[in-house]
Amino acid sequence: MRNKKKFIALAAFLVALACLVHGPLKNNLGLSARYFYDHVDLGIYAQRASWYGAGLRPYTDVFSEYPQAATYFFAIPSVLLRAVSRPYVEADYEFVFSLLMVGLLFATTTLLHGLRSDNKNRAFLMLLPATIYFTINRYDMLPACLAVLSYAALTRGRYRWAGHLLALGVLAKWYLLLLFPIYAQYCYRKVHRLPWRMALVFVLTGLAGIATTVVHSGWSGVMVPYAFHSGRHPNSESLFYLLEQAIKFAFSVDIANRGYYLLFLGLQFAVMPLTLLFKIDTDEKVVTWSAFSILLFMLFGKFYSPQWIIWAMPFLILSCRDRATLALIAAFDVATYAYFPVIFDALRTTHPVPFPMAICIKTGLLLALIAKLAGQIGGDTITHLEPVASSLRSAS
């Protein structure tokens, strides 16, 4: 009964917050910074969904830099508004979109609460300021929720559902591809055979998403988001940019056009083959490796977006074992909100120092979380090897 009241209160809080952001707080209290409401990305989603109902095709007729599941998901608010015979207004689209996102946040938080075996209230770290802000103003809660659903299916032995949901997540945000080798090894350790069925479902789901775009928009449409992102340059929020500026200052060498992009791209995905060298056979190892993989992907991206914190937050919460990690998670979230939107909007153009300092702090906290997870992985590995070493000593 207590949990039921708790989650009813959570649902009411999230809906009320979305209403406040799209109501009294929509003008951000008349201030220049986007403290609560950010029209930029919400407006982009509305534009990317403008193909629906206009006889147009996504990617081909209406540009979209987002993967298939995301691009089609953007049309859902328009579908719902048409269902109630409401004339299309962008403000209505944005409000419905945010309601859908807080609904996914509610589902994700509820799932995390159930998945944690102890300290269940750590699930409410999903209500920290940056996570809440980017839930309302971005779509990244969609892949995050699919990731948690796929993990829940995995731990319950529903491996084909895990593969299906994970593939849907990849079609929403490509970073979830990182989790497939972790899931595959976990499944292999549990059933003692290669997880062909999970792999087949994963591949077929991905191919179905691509095939839908091919039928709807042609092969050229399929390639649009890949071509767009391959041509993007580093932004001032990434580790690559920080290193580039430091090397330029210290040695007067510009590394931007010297193939270092490929090195960082390799580092983003280096953890995928690395997982094959470790025994991932428990739920705890799955979440630790998942959080570790996602954070490394974020660290080595040639550009960085603050909403990416939503990708990592569910697995950070599930892998959190002590108060020190909890404090790091909270600090990372607060630092993210501090640099965007607060410093980015309010101080970046008038005061040049706070923004790079905030980026350094954010990157330092990201590194600290990676180090903490690496320590957990190392500790788990040593714990696994100790019985083996004892057996060898006894045999000798």
pLDDT tens, position by position, for the chain (396 residues)?
678 899 999 999 999 999 999 999 999 999 989 999 999 999 999 999 999 988 899 999 999 999 999 999 999 999 999 888 777 789 999 999 999 999 999 999 999 999 999 999 999 999 999 999 999 999 999 999 999 999 999 999 999 999 999 999 999 999 999 999 999 999 999 998 889 999 999 999 999 999 999 998 999 999 999 889 887 878 899 998 898 888 888 887 777 666 678 888 899 999 999 998 899 999 999 999 999 999 999 999 988 999 999 999 999 999 999 999 999 999 999 999 999 999 999 998 888 889 999 999 999 999 999 999 999 999 877 665 545 444 444 555
Q: CA 11 to CA 102: how far, in whole Å?
A: 8
Q: Structure pTM?
A: 0.93
CA 81 – CA 76 distance, rounded (Å): 9
Token output for 238: 């990434």
**For 349-354, which contacts have Cβ atoms below 8 Å and span 24 or more sequence positions?**
none
CA–CA distance from 175 to each of 49, 170, 253, 290 (Å)? Answer: 22, 7, 31, 11
Indicate the length of the chain as a whole number. 396
The residues facing 62 across adjacent strands are 58
- The domain tally of the chain equals 1
The rounded distance, in Å, linking the Cα atoms of 202 and 170 is 10
Measured over the CA atoms of residue 79, residue 82, residue 84 and residue 86, the dihedral's sign is positive
Does residue 183 contact residue 162 with C-beta atoms inside 8 Å? Answer: yes
Residue 121: Cβ-neighbour burial (10 angstroms; 0-12, 13-18, 19+): exposed
Domain residues for 101? 2-395
Whole-angstrom distance, CA of residue 234 vs CA of residue 214: 30
State phi, psi for 288 to the nearest 5 degrees: -65, -45
